[in-house]
């Protein structure tokens, strides 16, 4: 493997044969027609085998349309991203990724397809709710849509964790707690239907830990109670802040203005139920496992070892959810051990003062980027859209700030899982992300954030320097796109960390790596077979992308390879 940095810019286009490509139909500008375009693509004939150089023009009698069909079959890209690029060009592609929690409102095939068309990059499954059979059905629906419709949606499984939470409300979808009402929280085994104003708590030590006068927060403070009496296994509470109680909402206690932390000291981060869910996720081949209430790096390392032992071929990424005081205290070691992080602001806001949540978010996002780990900003981004078709102006400002901080991804929770307007909520995230990103580019706000070295070997150090240089060159030269050929996704991740001004085309031979790259800022992952001959790879890639109308002659690109550790600057011939 070459250890030197190769940078060359050919003075003229490569003399490779020209590709005969038909004029492809342009994407209709009205967004309602996007679904129709994707459906047409999905009903095309089965892909032809990859013929490599045969996609180039020749005089052997092969028609231009046959060549184009062969080219299109040799490379896989998300149908929605492809449509956006054809309509708006390189620079208008969205860089911030979108995660949607799947629930009763969005678990059907039509609803999942609508989310995919709307820009969903990752489908999240919350293991606090639903059975394994239900989640298995959703996973297979997503995989089927990817295969049949040309999407590239990844799947994330989110563990329940060992938090103290309410029961399922006896099967009710919700319950309203009014100001001054007396409610009973009990550790008794209760049969459905539950007694009036009675809630089951899942923690046996619940009544021992709580004291009269404590403040009980439900779901991060969406509803508040004051403990007024303890009677055996029951705790009587008065509602002080009314609101909607949802099944399996988490419970936290505050005493004298501070969080009562002792109650969680003996609870494991990963419960026995979580291990069963993790086995399920491994068996179903999910792309990400998000771990709730991570307290230390040891938990992450243990889970990674467990996944490797259970499935040697598994490529599952482990995401640490930062949602507790312990997570903040051990933040750097947790992020270093994980494959990414989630800023779970709802639960985090129940453990630290609310006014500290924005600064904690900014700290987590910045540290994740410095350590080259993707980060998701989650919880209550568009909470009002669970019930209303338009967000509040404050929610739009909140989303804008997360995009401005250059978080890798934004996540919808209840908005998409059980909300009345999941498609509209996703549209808001998408449109706000696009607008803030465009403003950032128009203002030429290239960041001066210091990115510390993260390489652990000499080879990785070279890759790091190459990516830093390539991003700077791309910004200074006004490059249209960065091409990266990668086996593992590591170099594309380093390049994404630099947040270049142009999109990053990530070419990989692995389907699982392609889906995992869906979570990282600015990456457009393609599945493509390639060799260690860079010139051959580029000529073939140019031919394939031109055949699909995604690039055109004269476009300026910078190409990188983690196999050759090289940079090339060239115009598309």
Tokens of 196: 């009036």
Decide: 76 and 152 in contact? Cβ < 8 Å: yes
Q: Give the DSSP H or E segment for 121.
A: none
Structural domains of the chain in order of their starting residue, each with its CATH number: 7-91+448-500+503-571 (3.40.1380.20), 97-162+269-442 (3.20.20.60), 169-264 (2.40.33.10)
How far apart CA 306 and CA 394 sit, in angstroms, is 42
User: Other C-beta atoms within 10 Å of 100: how many?
Assistant: 29
Contacts of 296 (CB under 8 A, 6+ apart): 326, 330, 333, 334
> Cα 130–163–203 angle (5° rounding)?
95
How far apart CA 166 and CA 128 sit, in angstroms, is 11
DSSP state of 212: T
The DSSP code sequence of 490-534 is HHHHHHHHT--SS-EEEEES-HHHHHHGGGSTTEEEEE----S-H
3-state secondary structure of 38: helix
pLDDT tens digits in sequence order for the chain, 573 residues long: 333 344 443 433 333 333 333 333 333 333 433 443 333 333 333 333 333 333 333 333 334 444 444 444 588 989 988 888 888 787 789 999 999 999 999 999 999 999 999 999 999 999 988 999 999 999 999 999 999 999 999 999 999 987 788 887 777 778 999 999 999 999 887 776 778 899 888 887 888 888 999 999 998 788 999 999 999 999 999 999 999 998 888 888 888 888 876 555 557 789 889 999 999 999 999 999 999 999 999 999 999 999 999 987 788 999 999 999 999 999 999 999 999 999 999 889 888 888 999 999 999 999 999 999 999 999 999 999 999 999 999 999 999 999 999 999 999 999 999 999 999 999 999 999 999 999 988 876 666 566 777 766 667 888 899 999 999 999 999 999 999 999 999 999 999 999 999 999 999 999 999 999 999 999 999 999 998 899 999 999 999 999 988 899 999 999 999 888 889 999 999
End-to-end CA distance of the chain, in Å?
Answer: 28
Q: Give the DSSP H or E segment for 243.
A: strand 243-245
Q: Give the DSSP H or E segment for 345.
A: helix 345-348
Tokens 């230390």 label which residue?
Answer: 296
User: Other C-beta atoms within 10 Å of 16: how many?
Assistant: 16
How far apart CA 271 and CA 498 sit, in angstroms, is 37
How far apart CA 319 and CA 158 sit, in angstroms, is 9
Give me the residues paired with residue 155 across strands. Answer: 123
How far apart CA 372 and CA 498 sit, in angstroms, is 9
Decide: 571 and 555 in contact? Cβ < 8 Å: yes
Decide: 39 and 76 in contact? Cβ < 8 Å: no
The DSSP code sequence of 197-235 is TEEEBS-TTHHHH--TTPEEEETTTTEEEEEEEEETTEE
Gyration radius from the chain CA atoms = 25
Which pTM value belongs to this model? Answer: 0.82
How far apart CA 225 and CA 218 sit, in angstroms, is 8
């Amino acid at each position: 493997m070459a250890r030197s940095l190769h940078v060359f810019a050919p003075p003229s286009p490569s003399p490779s044969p020209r590709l005969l490509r038909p004029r492809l139909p342009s994407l209709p500008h009205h967004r309602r027609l996007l679904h129709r375009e994707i459906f047409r693509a999905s009903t095309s004939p089965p892909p032809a085998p990859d013929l490599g150089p045969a996609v180039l023009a020749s005089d052997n009698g092969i028609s231009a349309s046959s060549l184009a069909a062969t080219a299109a079959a040799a490379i896989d890209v998300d149908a929605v991203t492809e449509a956006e690029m054809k309509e708006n060009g390189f620079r208008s592609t969205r860089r911030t990724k979108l995660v949607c929690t799947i629930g009763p409102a969005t678990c059907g095939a039509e609803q999942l397809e609508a989310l995919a068309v709307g820009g969903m990059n990752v489908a999240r499954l919350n293991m606090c709710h639903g059975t394994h059979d239900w989640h298995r059905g959703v996973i297979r629906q997503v995989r089927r849509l990817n295969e049949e419709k040309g999407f590239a949606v990844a799947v994330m499984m989110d563990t329940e964790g060992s938090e103290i939470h309410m029961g399922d409300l006896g099967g009710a979808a919700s319950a309203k707690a009014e100001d001054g009402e007396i409610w009973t929280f009990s550790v008794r085994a209760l049969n459905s239907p539950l007694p009036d104003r009675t809630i089951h708590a899942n923690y046996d030590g619940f009544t021992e830990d709580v004291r009269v006068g404590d403040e009980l927060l439900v779901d991060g403070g969406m509803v508040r109670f004051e403990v007024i009496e303890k009677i055996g296994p029951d705790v009587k509470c008065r509602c002080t802040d009314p609101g909607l109680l949802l099944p399996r909402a988490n419970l936290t206690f505050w005493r004298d203005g501070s969080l009562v932390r002792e109650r969680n000291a003996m609870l494991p981060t990963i419960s026995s139920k979580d291990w069963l869910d993790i086995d399920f996720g491994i068996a179903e081949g999910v792309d990400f496992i998000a771990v709730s209430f991570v307290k230390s790096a040891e938990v992450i390392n243990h889970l990674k070892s467990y996944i490797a032992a259970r499935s040697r071929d598994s490529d599952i990424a482990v995401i640490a959810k930062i949602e507790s005081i312990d997570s903040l205290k051990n933040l750097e070691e947790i992020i270093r051990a994980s494959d990414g992080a989630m800023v779970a602001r709802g639960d985090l806001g129940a453990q630290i003062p609310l006014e500290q949540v924005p600064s904690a978010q900014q700290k987590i996002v910045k540290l994740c980027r410095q350590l080259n780990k993707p980060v998701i900003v989650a919880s209550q981004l568009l909470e009002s859209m669970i019930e209303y078709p338009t967000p509040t102006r404050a929610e739009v400002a909140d989303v804008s700030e997360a995009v401005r901080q250059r978080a890798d991804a934004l996540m919808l929770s209840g908005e998409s899982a059980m909300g009345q307007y999941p498609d509209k909520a996703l549209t808001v995230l998408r449109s706000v992300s696009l607008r803030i990103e465009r403003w950032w580019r128009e203002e030429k706000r290239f960041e001066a954030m210091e990115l510390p070295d993260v390489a652990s070997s000499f080879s990785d150090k070279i890759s790091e320097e190459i990516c830093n240089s390539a991003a700077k060159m791309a910004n200074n030269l006004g490059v249209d796109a960065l091409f990266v050929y990668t086996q593992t996704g590591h170099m594309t991740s380093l390049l994404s960390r630099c947040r270049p001004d142009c999109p990053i085309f990530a070419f990989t031979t692995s389907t699982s790596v392609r889906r995992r790259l869906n979570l990282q800022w600015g990456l457009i992952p393609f599945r493509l077979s390639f060799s260690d001959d860079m010139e051959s790879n580029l000529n073939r890639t140019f031919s394939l992308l031109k055949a699909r109308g995604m690039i055109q002659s004269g476009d300026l690109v910078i190409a990188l390879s983690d196999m050759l550790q090289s940079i090339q600057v060239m115009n598309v011939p």
